[in-house]
């Protein structure tokens, strides 16, 4: 049986690493379930979710030219329709940084132009300088005048 993207298969966990788990599929073919594809929630340690020799249902999410097979446990689980729609929407939004913002310019909404960034920088800079001047003037004893 040829392994194609989108196929759901049953497999046996043969190895666990800090970045995921290796799953033996039919015919001695092995694929990798990345740690991000194990569960819908955050996975800190793969050992908390899987053990060697566990039988798992996986979905083939990619097959590289060099024969590497990418698998997903969380995409293989059938979800209720409303939850499925939500996960499709979040996948369509594209990659995000840690703050939830798009990681690529123009990925979601309008990215700020150079002029917008420059004006924001100048405003922040002026505010910081004025705050710094106020704090140093108060330490000098007034309006910054020198004593004779």
State the pLDDT at residue 116: 87
State the pLDDT at residue 55: 93
Element (H, E) at 87: helix 81-92
> Token pair for residue 6?
């989108």
SS3 110: coil
The whole-angstrom separation of Cα 143 and Cα 98 is: 44
The whole-angstrom separation of Cα 73 and Cα 11 is: 10
Confidence of residue 144 (pLDDT cuts 50, 70, 90): low
State the pLDDT at residue 49: 92
State the pLDDT at residue 38: 92
Element (H, E) at 138: helix 114-140
Residue owning tokens 């594809």: 37
The DSSP annotation for 90-127 comes to HHHT--B-TTSSBSSTTSSSPPPPHHHHHHHHHHHHHH
The whole-angstrom separation of Cα 70 and Cα 88 is: 19
Q: What is the assigned CATH class of domain 8-78? A: mainly beta
**147 vs 7: which has the higher pLDDT:** 7
State the pLDDT at residue 74: 92
> Token pair for residue 96?
């995000």
pLDDT tens-place string over residues 80-93:
666 555 555 555 55
Task: Say which DSSP state 137 is in.
Answer: H
State the pLDDT at residue 28: 83
Q: What is the mean pLDDT of the chain?
A: 80
Residue 107 in this model has a pLDDT that exceeds 50: no
pLDDT tens-place string over residues 59-79:
999 999 888 999 999 998 877
- Residue 71 in contact with residue 28, Cβ under 8 Å? no
- Residue 74 in contact with residue 39, Cβ under 8 Å? yes
pLDDT tens-place string over residues 1-30:
578 899 899 999 999 999 999 999 987 899
Task: Say which DSSP state 85 is in.
Answer: H
State the pLDDT at residue 114: 87
Phi–psi pair at 38, nearest 5 degrees: -85, -45
SS3 32: strand
Domain ranges of the chain: 8-78
């Amino acid at each position: 049986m040829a392994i194609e993207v989108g196929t759901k298969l049953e497999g046996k966990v043969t190895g666990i690493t800090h970045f995921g788990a290796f799953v033996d599929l039919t015919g001695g073919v092995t694929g990798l379930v990345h740690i991000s594809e194990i569960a819908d929630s955050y996975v800190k340690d793969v050992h908390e979710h899987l053990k060697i020799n566990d039988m798992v249902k996986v979905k083939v999410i990619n097959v590289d030219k060099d024969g590497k097979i990418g698998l997903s446990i969380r995409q293989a689980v059938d979800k209720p329709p409303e939850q499925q729609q939500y996960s499709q929407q979040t996948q369509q939004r594209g990659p995000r940084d840690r703050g939830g913002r798009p990681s690529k310019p123009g990925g979601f909404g309008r990215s700020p132009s150079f002029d917008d960034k420059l004006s924001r920088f100048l405003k922040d800079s002026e505010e910081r300088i004025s705050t710094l001047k106020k704090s140093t003037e108060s330490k000098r004893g007034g309006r910054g005048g020198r004593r004779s």
